[in-house]
Structure 1
């Protein structure tokens, strides 16, 4: 009968060694998670090449006008005007040209976005919404957005319209804006109506 071997005693690892291993493992996991969080793109971030979140640039399609634009042009600022207003403007411009005066368009039809842009600029320029309202209407009330107003450039054209505009139904509406004209058909027979001091006195602007 073989001699029995003494039982092998399995030694226990020191508790401190197990704790150290857990600390190392925890640190490693934390590092991996931190790296993944740093490397993964944020769901709210917009990559440099992604322009979907950027406001589109305003241009001629919104009613912006280049220098030297006339009432005979085909750009949206002119073409999108009310047809009767545009016809009256072109008749007047044709007659004014015979007097050596040319009509230039500083502004005509405007998109709501362009009107809002102009309003924000006016608030920044004049310091308050109340003061800006004397010069620029909201997109909801502006006759430019409706295609019912035009701003004429050059002093000679404004002077010619001031004297002759009523014959074509073209009237200056605001005393503080000698460039702003709208169509008032009754003016052909009865003259233009009294002007408002500025747009804040116009009931149409109170909506």
Structure 2
């Protein structure tokens, strides 16, 4: 599905939820919830690849996968995600996958340019996608978690591992924001607020 046209994450998710069309859990998995995924890159000869951190649409990655989207993450973040995922599975969550991790600047540029086309101006685009020089994904400081019940588990218990939901409009996006066990700061409304330097946040967008 690498050649499908991308929409912004929120537009795709909203449309899928409205239509009841979020990706189903893998066969044999019960109660996994909807799959939260970033739509695929624009088609073309230079579209992002696995080496850019691209995660196949509708698939996601196991948290122990040995691919750039995961190995490019900050080691402390990756370790926290893997520990949290193991505990989530032990607590009854059926599946924990990563739908987005480290991204190359080239991949992020694709996402940013598509957001500009979709929303028409930088101010609105920044609510959903960051330019490459401002993206926490490019710096290896953010991870996107799916399915919805896994993301919900992370939102409730991620603080025990230092993981916090960064934005209120992105239940899938987590960063290593606090020391393990400390309470998470309230999520920012969206990525455009990151530039305000809110306490407890690193100052980058998605």
The answer as to 2:48 corresponding to 1:62 is no
In structure 2, distance between residues paired with 1:200 and 1:175: 12
In structure 1, distance between residues paired with 2:154 and 2:186: 16
The answer as to 2:146 corresponding to 1:156 is no
Tell me how far 1:205 sits from its aligned partner. Answer: 4.7
Tell me how far 1:99 sits from its aligned partner. Answer: 2.3
Does the 8 Å CA contact 2:134/2:204 hold for their aligned counterparts? yes
Once the two structures are superposed, residues 57-106 of structure 1 have per-residue CA deviations (whole angstroms, 9 ceiling, x without a partner) of 32110010121412111110011100000000000011111123221111
For structure 2, the 5+ residue unaligned runs are 1-43, 196-202
Greater helix content? 1
In structure 2, distance between residues paired with 1:132 and 1:60: 25
Q: CA RMSD in A?
A: 1.7
* Count of matched residue positions in the alignment of Structure 1 and Structure 2: 152
TM-score (norm 2): 0.69
The answer as to 2:171 corresponding to 1:175 is no
TM-score (norm 1): 0.69
In structure 1, distance between residues paired with 2:133 and 2:79: 25
* Counterpart mapping for 1:1-16 below 5 A: none
In structure 1, distance between residues paired with 2:204 and 2:176: 17
In structure 2, distance between residues paired with 1:123 and 1:88: 33
Match of residue 28 from structure 2: none
For structure 1, the 5+ residue unaligned runs are 1-53
| Larger Rg over CA atoms | 1
- Bigger relative contact order, structure 1 or 2, given CA contacts below 8 A and separation 6+? 2
In structure 2, distance between residues paired with 1:76 and 1:94: 21
Tell me how far 1:55 sits from its aligned partner. Answer: 6.1
In structure 1, distance between residues paired with 2:78 and 2:189: 25
Once the two structures are superposed, residues 33-73 of structure 1 have per-residue CA deviations (whole angstroms, 9 ceiling, x without a partner) of xxxxxxxxxxxxxxxxxxxxx96332110010121412111
In structure 1, distance between residues paired with 2:184 and 2:63: 21
List, as ranges, runs of 4+ consecutive aligned residues in structure 1 with deviation greater than 6 Å. none
* Counterpart mapping for 1:10-159 below 5 A: 56-66=46-56, 67-101=59-93, 102-159=95-152
